[in-house]
Chain A
């Protein structure tokens, strides 16, 4: 079955710096890759996603890149702010309606 790895497990950056979180997946049939942000005491919140036909997608300070050949995808956050501090999860799934396999998460701390 699908296996998703995520690095780093923890990441501390200074406010204003960029943060990059990387994920790799094992199943070449996966074609949907969402990213979630989970704040303390809350459920995960979808922040951005990408599909296999899109190499890069950007939404304000957040961007995702996907390399299907290498089977890895990344989340880039620019101009980080303290409110970006949270646990971030990547996930992968094959088809619409199929269950996600999540990465283990990255705890991002943005230091003021």
Chain B
């Protein structure tokens, strides 16, 4: 069974730009969650999607958004990038008790 895949793995952007990250969950999983991981703030929950609907949302500004497609693939978008958005963005697939994380997308904002 293929694991969670995230693309791209690495990304460099400049302040003010926007970025879109992609996550393909494990086949059959309908739930996708997104997390931000930084050395200073640790792992923080961004949002969760289930069957194309946002089911839960963390405490992040509106610049962070996401969506889920009918095939359960999910994208997250960050607009007007700030230096502090530099982080590892992790996607997790599956129900809460058996979440499988992808390897993450490392975003560097210059």
Contacts and interface: CB of A to CB of B under 8 A. Distances in A.
Interface of A: 1, 32, 34, 36, 41-46, 49, 89, 91, 93, 96-105
Contacts of A34: 97
A97 B90 contact: no
A98 B42 contact: no
A34 B97 CA distance: 8
Contact of A44 (B48, B90, B96, B97): B90
A57 to B, nearest CB: 13
A97 B98 contact: no
Interface in B38-54: 42-45, 48
A44 B43 contact: yes
B58 interface: yes
Contacts of A97: 48, 55-56, 96
Contacts of B4: 43
Interface string B71-103: 000000000000000000010100111111111
Given A93-B96, A99-B56, A43 B104 contact: yes
Contacts of B57: 99
Contacts of A46: 98-100
B56 A41 contact: no
Interface of B: 4, 33, 42-45, 48, 55-59, 90, 92, 95-104
A44 B42 contact: no
Given A89-B42, A99-B45, A105-B42, 4 more contacts: A36-B101, A43-B90, A89-B43, A96-B97
Contact of A99 (B58, B101, B102): B58
A99 B57 CA distance: 8
A103 B97 contact: no
B43 A49 contact: no
B101 A100 contact: no
A25 to B, nearest CB: 14
A75 to B, nearest CB: 16
Nearest to B55: A97
